[in-house]
Amino acid sequence: MNDPEGVCLMETFIAKPDCVESLKALLQEAAARTRQEPGCRQLKAFQDQHNPTKFVVFAIFADQQAVEQHRAAEWHREIRARLPELLAGERVSAMGLAIA
């Protein structure tokens, strides 16, 4: 997927109630590292103000190759391995090209 607007990723995470701060810290670490990648155009991470266990991460990468390089990074795999102990369920992911 190549597009002048880039490849958009969105992920939603629901933390276990006793793991909210740990997940928040992990997502902050991941965001900081992702923003340093040359293929990352933008990344925003949000905590729902009405449901503090819910987090949404939105990222735009230059192209599909940038997404693949991001996912292949050792630090990314290590962070992903830590997620199951913090999450109340499966994360929800979406990937696509901008349409508007």
Query: Could you give the CA distance from residue 57 to residue 15 in angstroms, rounded to a whole number?
Result: 13
User: 2 pLDDT exceeds 60?
Assistant: no
50-98 pLDDT, tens digit per residue, is 999 999 999 999 999 999 999 999 999 999 999 999 999 888 889 887 7
Domains of the chain and CATH, by start: 7-97 (3.30.70.100)
Section 17-23 average pLDDT: 98
pLDDT > 70 in the chain, percent: 95
9-18 b/e with 16+ CB inside 10 Å = b? bebbbbbeee
Please give the distance of CA 97 from its chain centroid, rounded to a whole number.
16
Among 9-13, 28-32, 94-98, where is mean pLDDT lowest?
94-98
pTM: 0.89
